[in-house]
């Protein structure tokens, strides 16, 4: 199985996404409880823009247990997939799980903020985005105003008269 999965991943690296996906589907059918294989199969559907087909593979991968690095990717992938499918509450739930497990993962935070936007939780979405920006930027102009941006990040609707 490992050799065939490596072939499938190489095909994806070469841009042969459909061929990679087809091989991963066959492997996932032969080894239905292999979490990493389920994750790779989900990813292969995402690459093809077939998010609805990716979701059950992500779900199984997470359920069966993944190593930490792959779990981070699967949570991000599943949360994003749910969001693109309009399943915003499911997306929020999986991102909150991800933030609980991986509180320093800024990509999860950014994707979570998109879900919050879709749920009309605009203030919280902006607060998370602004904090993520401040925590990761090297831009001197933003750094210069970091204190003010951080102060206002959760007060966007407030006015001072």
Within 10 Å of residue 67's Cβ, how many Cβ atoms?
10
The predicted structure's pLDDT at residue 91:
98
The predicted structure's pLDDT at residue 160:
82
* Global confidence as pTM: 0.90
pLDDT per 10-residue tile (average), the chain, 161 residues: 89 95 95 95 95 96 96 97 97 98 96 97 96 94 94 89 82
The predicted structure's pLDDT at residue 121:
97
Q: Long-range contact list for 37-44, CB < 8 A, 24+ apart? A: 37/1, 37/5, 38/64, 39/66, 39/70, 39/73, 39/74, 39/77, 40/5, 40/8, 40/9, 42/74, 42/77, 42/78, 42/81, 43/12, 43/73, 43/77, 44/8, 44/12, 44/17, 44/20
């Amino acid at each position: 199985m490992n050799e065939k999965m490596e072939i499938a991943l190489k095909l994806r690296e070469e841009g042969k996404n459909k061929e990679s996906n087809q091989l991963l589907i066959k492997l996932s059918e032969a080894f239905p409880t292999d979490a990493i294989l389920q994750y790779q199969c989900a990813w292969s559907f995402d690459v093809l823009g077939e998010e609805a087909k990716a979701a059950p593979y992500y779900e199984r991968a997470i359920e069966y247990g993944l190593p930490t690095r792959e779990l981070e990717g699967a949570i991000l992938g599943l949360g994003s997939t749910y969001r693109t499918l309009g399943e915003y509450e499911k997306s929020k739930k999986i991102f909150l799980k991800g933030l609980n497990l991986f509180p320093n993962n800024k990509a999860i935070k950014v994707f979570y903020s998109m879900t919050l936007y879709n749920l009309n939780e605009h203030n919280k979405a902006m607060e998370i985005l602004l904090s993520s920006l401040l925590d990761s930027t090297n831009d001197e102009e933003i750094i210069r105003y970091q204190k003010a941006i951080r102060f206002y990040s959760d007060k966007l609707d407030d006015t001072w008269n």
